Amino acid sequence: MLITLYKLIDENAVYIYTIHDRDRLLDYPYSVTTNWRKNAGKGRERTKGFTTEYEKNHYIQKVFNEKIKAGYKILYSFEKKHEIPIDLTKFAH
């Protein structure tokens, strides 16, 4: 599962925020990684581990909703099967 969001500040500033569960942690059965950057600059990354799928999905929903409220829009999303715990069609533009 992968969701990429973007936020245009002006013609010189684009913020990119990505949420995905592709990375695996040795200590946890579920994980979510978030990456963020401004323009083509060096980005930052954070990976959190979870013991249940419910916790993982709750975290994805929380982060997604925070970014949407902050003005981000969906740039791209991908899922192998119905993995994204959010109805993204509500946010299509």
Written as one string, the DSSP assignment of the chain is -EEEEEEEEETTEEEEEEEE-----SS-SEEEEEEEEETTS--EEEEEEESSHHHHHHHHHHHHHHHHHTT-EEEEEE-SSS--SS-GGGG--
CATH architecture entry for 2-82: Single Sheet (2.20)
Neighbouring C-beta atoms of residue 31, cutoff 10 Å? 19
Q: Which residue has tokens 């999303």?
A: 77
Distance CA(93)–CA(75), nearest Å, equals 10
**Beta partners for 79?**
none
Of 12 and 59, more confident: 59
pLDDT of residue 10: 86
pLDDT of residue 90: 73
5-54: per-residue pLDDT in tens?
999 998 889 999 999 988 788 999 999 999 999 998 889 999 999 999 99
Which residues, other chains included, contact 35 with Cβ-Cβ below 8 Å and sequence gap of 6+?
A: 16, 17, 18, 20, 43, 44, 45
**Arithmetic mean of pLDDT, 60-85:** 88
Is pLDDT of 86 > 70?
yes
